[in-house]
Structure 1
């Protein structure tokens, strides 16, 4: 059950919905009832899937840009596309950052970055982030 909760938390955290899978991951680490590498894998997989959902939404986004209810103005969308064109696909390595990460994954879909490039960059960035969270949590638990 704890693995499923972690997966769902990580998935939701990677979408445009708010979430904090790091807190749940740290709590599960503190319990010491779960397998370390499995926690890393489940959190990373959930977070990558959440980012893939954003990518899929981005693929569909431009067809709605002329609608009155569309949340982003044409100039804002153009600026975002210019940002991505300037900093490129490697900015996806930072898709785990708060505030900017989710829009980056959405934008990758908007500009139609090939999915395999998106997927591997997201896996590397998010996997490294969760490895760092685990390492920091274990360091904290060792000192207490």
Structure 2
């Protein structure tokens, strides 16, 4: 039983890290655990979603901190400037797409930089992450 907690904890950590600035492969970890047949699908999807959402909100928080120290958007790297403009122009629902590779982290950061409402941002980010992991589960079960 101890191995189960360790493995599920590994999924959580992988999902968290995958949604911060560091790259990760939580989708592969989830797919592996799903194909093992040792875990309830819904449980794994929830664990991955929570870890990934918390990682995204960490990046969102870094955006909030950066905005306090560097309030001028011109100081941002080009990738984050693009994300900032997308979120500014398209609104909070762009955070639904934070599950996308490459631009997802920048969207989270931009949401924090723009000081979008925390609870709304968290909910929208979580919905996007849940959708992505649900599709992965559907593909591997």
Task: Specify the SS of the correspondent of 1:95.
Answer: helix
1:73-92 residue CA offsets vs partner (Å, 9 max, x unmatched): 35846554332111111111
Alpha-carbon distance, 1:9 to partner? 0.1
Counterpart check, 1:54 vs 2:59? yes
3-state SS of paired residue (1:6) = helix
Q: Which has the larger radius of gyration?
A: 1
Q: Summarize the alignment of residues 1-144 of structure 1 with structure 2, pairs less than 5 Å apart.
A: 1-65=6-70, 73=75, 76=78, 79-138=82-141
Rounded Cα–Cα distance in structure 1 between residues aligned with 2:56 and 2:86: 19
TM-score by length of 2: 0.87
1:74-130 deviation line (CA, Å, top 9, x unaligned) = 584655433211111111111000000001001111000000110110111000100
Q: Are the aligned partners of 2:87 and 2:95 in contact in 1 as well (CA < 8 Å)? A: no
Q: Quick one: distance in 1 between partners of 2:75 and 2:112?
A: 17
**In 2, Cα distance between equivalents of 1:75 and 1:50:** 21
Give the length in aligned residue pairs. Answer: 133
Q: Give the aligned CA root-mean-square deviation in angstroms.
A: 1.8
**Structure 1: unaligned runs, 5 residues or longer:** 67-71, 139-144
Gap regions ≥5 residues in structure 2: 1-5
User: Relative to 1, partners in 2 of residues 1:107 and 1:26: Cα closer, same or farther, differing over 3 Å?
Assistant: same
After TM superposition, the score normalised by the length of structure 1 is 0.85
Q: Report the Cα distance in structure 2 between the residues aligned to 1:137 and 1:34, rounded to whole angstroms.
A: 13
Worse-superposed segment, 109-118 or 57-66:
57-66
- 1:114, 1:59 → 2: CA distance? 11
Cα distance in 1 between the residues matched to 2:16 and 2:115: 22
